[in-house]
Amino acid sequence: MGRALADAHESARDAFATADRVLGYPLSAMCWEGPAEDLKKSVHTQPALLTHSVAAWRQVDAVGLVPSFVAGHSLGEYSACVAAGALSFEDALRVTSRRGELMYQAGLDRPGAMAAVLGLSREDVEAACADAASVGIVRAANLNAPGQIVISGEPAAVDAACEAAKARGAKRAIKLEVSGAFHSPLMASAAEGLREALAGVTIHDARCPIVSNAWARPVQKADEIRAALEEQLLASVRWEESMRLLIESGVEGFVELGTGKVLRGLLRTIHKEAASWNVEDPESLQATVAALGSATGSNA
């Protein structure tokens, strides 16, 4: 994760070196050499993904690509805050590491499950969750794109909601390998701990609007950004609404930073005409810069 970018660019190498120093262990070696089992632990996964995306952001920033807005999916909202100057990279590392610990512990304290429901409208997914409410807590947690919604809650309730979704016409309901019921009320203890962690860092007004996961609207003032991050673990990720807001605001190009192209895939489902690129290695960086030049108006 991120090695090719770090090998090619000093500022990317510095991002990983900073992570090693702040976290007090060799995250860079874990990202580049493994073992994979260690990297899969939430306490490591979250700062690792943050570091790769910040390393990618530094390359985009260096060539003068200026975002009109930024947004990030769940954990990615912290990368967006770094890109917008609202949160220092060092503080983001500390908070995301703690966030990973808290989410894992919350999953042990209140075991949960998540499942991707495909081919069903938001209204029908929410109705399926309501059908399962007598079994336990379950809710729509990630509103990713039309026909791509993730539900989260107590295991038996998630199973019941999956069956209800299939009865309502879902193409598939796929259980996910997760350590807890993220973006659900089962994360209450983690959310409280996260508020304490966020209280220990400085948040600045952002240079550009950050589209909040929880509210699907832009925030730019420091107090609003803090409140949005505090609410995030308990709130649904309103990704489809966030992307539609950006499109309606005139954003014509989107750049995904860091590991993979999942968000580009979701964007194509939301609005197939939207232009998008990704930056995760030197080749994708070169292609993105060639396509965009010094254009502005992209969402990082």
- 219: nearest Cα among 208, 229, 210: 210
Greatest alpha-carbon span in the chain = 55
- Indicate if 74 belongs to the active site: yes
Report residue 273 as tokens: 């005409």
- Residues facing 173 on adjacent strands: 117
**Residue 132, pLDDT score:** 98
Provide the pLDDT for residue 293: 74
pLDDT given at position 296? 42
Measure the CA–CA gap between 276 and 264, rounded to whole angstroms.
Answer: 6
Catalytic residue among 183, 184, 284, 298: 183
Amino acid letter for position 11: S
Q: How many CB atoms lie within 10 A of CB 27?
A: 26
Residue in the block written with tokens 């900073």: 18
- Tokens standing for residue 297: 């108006």
Dig out the tokens for 146 from the structure.
């039309």
Q: Is-catalytic flag, 204?
A: no
Q: Which residues of the chain have pLDDT under 50?
A: 294-300
Q: Is the peptide bond before 218 cis (omega within 30 degrees of 0)?
A: no
pLDDT of residue 273: 93
Sheet holding 172-175, edge to edge: 138-145, 148-153, 113-118, 172-175
List 11, 68, 74, 121, catalytic entry: 74
Locus of tokens 């690129």: 277
Structural domains of the chain, ranges and CATH numbers in brackets: 3-107+186-299 (3.40.366.10), 113-177 (3.30.70.250)
Quote the tokens at residue 208: 């550009």
Dump pLDDT digits (tens) for 205-244.
Answer: 999 999 999 999 999 999 999 999 999 999 999 999 999 9
For the four alpha carbons of 230, 233, 236 and 239, in that order, the dihedral sign comes to positive
Burial class of residue 177 in the structure, from the number of CB atoms within 10 Å of its CB (0-12 exposed, 13-18 middle, 19+ buried): exposed
Three-class SS state of 247 = helix
Q: Is 100 within 8 Å of 43 (Cβ atoms)?
A: yes
Contact between 149 and 236 under an 8 Å Cβ cutoff? The reply is no
